[in-house]
Amino acid sequence: MKHLTLLFAATAAALVAPDQVTILDKQPAASNDVVQTWWDSSLSHSTKLFTSLERRITDSIRSFDASSYGFDNDDHHPHPPRRGHGGHRRGDKTKTIYELIKSNKYTTKFASLLDNDDFSDIKSLLDSNSHNKTLFVPTDKAFERIPHHGDKPPPKEFVLALLKYHISPGLHTAHDLITSHTLPSNLSLDTLGSRPQRLRISTGLLFTIRVNIISKIVYSNILAKNGVIHAIDHILVPPPSQEKIISLLPNTFSTFSLGLEKTELSIPDHKGGTLFAPTNSAFRRLGPRANAFLFSSHGLKYLKALLKYHFVVDQTLYSDAFYGESKDEKAAARERVQEGGKYWHVDLETLLEDKAIAVDVKKWKGWVSIVLNGFTRVVFQDGVASDGVVQVVGKVLIPPHEHRHGHTGEEEDDGKNIEVEELKARLERYVEREEEGGQAGDL
Ligand SMILES: *[C@@H]1O[C@H](CO)[C@@H](O)[C@H](O)[C@H]1NC(C)=O
Ligand SMILES: *[C@@H]1O[C@H](CO)[C@@H](O)[C@H](O)[C@H]1NC(C)=O
């Protein structure tokens, strides 16, 4: 099996055991893409955590039908909680975040990383009073969870990125986290147009809060002079690219992956993007005839058009944030939804010519639903990626009929057991256009 690496969190070669850090100086200078390079080169020596990650995602998708809002499978409390996660008495408001973790016997490993000269900027950040910040600090136990492996330690640039990914600007108490979906981190990478990489926050039973699916907050609301600390049980590794995520989750995305491979669809260079990734069962829903056609040699060009309709580049839509062009209306919409607004709409142009997907983001109390083209729901939200976000859909998105745009009923557009003729009719114009484009280029 290829690339059986762990995703998002808790990964093998996070191997930032403090005693290894000195070795890092010998590493070659890292490119901008230090995170992706790490993902590309690291092979996991343990598939356990990776398997558990995929199980969490599939369980969440499976249980999604039971509810109309996109929350994780263990997120079934009937009301967004108002309390929980202790009071505000933990910590010591005369000390900085750095001082607190330095003196805490459960966070010695993270603290000693900060004491390494290479990471003195991070230490200063956590020691400075100029801004409040939130630190997700991995406990010493979290470092023990890094499986043993024989790979080289990561370059120090990677460790630096990793440390920044544990910090979020602003003061976010557990109470704030419970109603958050994503938070910006202090890490920014070129791949996302230098916007902050985000952390995915989810709340489960008994107010269990997880960051990036795996890392559980085991101790929250440790207040400091310059912010707040939450202790987590797994290290947060900056995520890989969208493409890598798809390839790492074969039980969920192998059909989509196969399609990308067979059609040789190449995604243009991008700074962020939104991938509406259909699950394997989304493809099954199309029915055996449609699948046989799409994956046959004469169907591939239709498949290619279809897949293109799932990629948005340069605009990154999280359930509670939008990194895109600074068109006023979009900015305004984003602010409305971030500041407690209930609804916003955006049309996102896909790689399929000028064809856009109409996105409706609706907020209800602490929950958010994302609905595409009027009826297709995102069944797993905010799969953060280094170059954007993966929003998982349980139905394959098919471009609506031109002439019926805006009037199509759900059943018509739904795509379940779709006839090959219908599929062809809906995609024909894009397939032809592509060929025209090719000819024009030849002249
Ligand atoms: C940090 O947050 C506390 C509590 O909300 C506030 O009193 C303080 O002024 C903030 N400090 C800065 C530098 O913003
Ligand atoms: C990280 O923190 C530093 C210091 O506060 C700040 O200058 C920088 O803009 C932050 N970066 C991001 C991406 O938040």
- What pLDDT sits at residue 150? 52
Would you say the CB of residue 131 lies under 6 angstroms from ligand 1? yes
Are residues 183 and 259 located together in one domain of the fold? no
Are residues 268 and 209 located together in one domain of the fold? no
Provide the mean pLDDT of the chain. Answer: 79
Q: How far apart are CA 125 and CA 161, in angstroms?
A: 14
The DSSP secondary-structure symbol of 146 reads: S
Name the range with the highest mean pLDDT among 7-21, 80-94, 329-343, 425-439: 425-439
State the average pLDDT over residues 202-229: 92
Residue nearest to atom 9 of ligand 1 (CA): 132
Would you say the CB of residue 365 lies under 6 angstroms from ligand 1? no
The 3-class SS string of 327-345 reads CHHHHHHHHHHHCCCCEEE
Are residues 192 and 338 located together in one domain of the fold? no
Would you say the CB of residue 160 lies under 6 angstroms from ligand 2? no
- What pLDDT sits at residue 244? 87
The domain boundary, picked from 210, 232, 254, lies at 232
Are residues 210 and 269 located together in one domain of the fold? no
State the average pLDDT over residues 351-357: 91
Residue nearest to atom 9 of ligand 2 (CA): 186
Are residues 269 and 155 located together in one domain of the fold? no
Find the domain containing 333 and state its range: 242-441
Residue 173 alpha carbon to ligand 1 centre in Å = 13
Residue scoring higher pLDDT (177 or 66):
177
- What's the pLDDT band for 411 if we cut at 50, 70, 90? very low
Residue nearest to atom 1 of ligand 1 (CA): 132
- Mean pLDDT lowest for which of 105-109, 197-201, 203-207, 286-290? 203-207
Residue 28 alpha carbon to ligand 1 centre in Å = 40
Are residues 285 and 188 located together in one domain of the fold? no
Residue 132 alpha carbon to ligand 2 centre in Å = 11
Would you say the CB of residue 188 lies under 6 angstroms from ligand 2? yes
Would you say the CB of residue 171 lies under 6 angstroms from ligand 1? yes
Would you say the CB of residue 358 lies under 6 angstroms from ligand 1? no
Residue 366: CB partners within 8 Å, gap ≥ 6? 80, 178, 179, 203
Q: How far apart are CA 285 and CA 299, in angstroms?
A: 17
Are residues 283 and 209 located together in one domain of the fold? no
Residue 268: CB partners within 8 Å, gap ≥ 6? 313, 351
Instruction: Locate 24 and state its tokens.
Output: 């890092």
Are residues 158 and 283 located together in one domain of the fold? no
Residue 373 has pLDDT above 90, yes or no: yes
- What pLDDT sits at residue 60? 76
The burial class, CB within 10 Å (0-12 / 13-18 / 19+), for 396 is: buried
Residue 237 lies in a domain: no
The DSSP secondary-structure symbol of 155 reads: P
Would you say the CB of residue 173 lies under 6 angstroms from ligand 1? no
State the average pLDDT over residues 247-276: 94
Would you say the CB of residue 132 lies under 6 angstroms from ligand 1? yes
Residue % of the chain over a pLDDT of 70? 72
Residue nearest to atom 1 of ligand 2 (CA): 186
The domain boundary, picked from 203, 232, 261, lies at 232
Residue 174 lies in a domain: yes
Residue 183 lies in a domain: yes
Residue 370 has pLDDT above 80, yes or no: yes
- What pLDDT sits at residue 409? 46
Structure confidence by residue, pLDDT tens digits, 126-156: 999 999 999 999 999 988 776 544 556 677 8
State the average pLDDT over residues 51-80: 56
Are residues 364 and 222 located together in one domain of the fold? no
Residue nearest to atom 2 of ligand 2 (CA): 186
- What pLDDT sits at residue 145? 72
Residue 159 has pLDDT above 80, yes or no: yes
| Ligand 2 atom nearest to 131, measured from its CA | 5
- What pLDDT sits at residue 207? 80
Residue 82 has pLDDT above 50, yes or no: no
Q: How far apart are CA 226 and CA 125, in angstroms?
A: 10
Are residues 214 and 248 located together in one domain of the fold? no
Residue 351 lies in a domain: yes
- What's the pLDDT band for 237 if we cut at 50, 70, 90? confident
- Mean pLDDT lowest for which of 128-132, 139-143, 269-273, 420-424? 139-143
How many structural domains comprise the chain?
Answer: 2
Least distant ligand from the CA of 135:
2
CATH of the domain at 197: 2.30.180.10
| Ligand 1 atom nearest to 129, measured from its CA | 13
The domain boundary, picked from 232, 250, 272, lies at 232
In this prediction the pTM is 0.83
Residue 102 lies in a domain: yes
Are residues 256 and 226 located together in one domain of the fold? no
Residue 406 alpha carbon to ligand 1 centre in Å = 48
Residue scoring higher pLDDT (24 or 419):
419
CA distances from 131 to 110, 126, 127, 225, 439 (A): 21, 9, 10, 10, 57
Are residues 67 and 109 located together in one domain of the fold? yes
Residue 382 alpha carbon to ligand 2 centre in Å = 22
Q: How far apart are CA 415 and CA 134, in angstroms?
A: 44
Residue 162 lies in a domain: yes
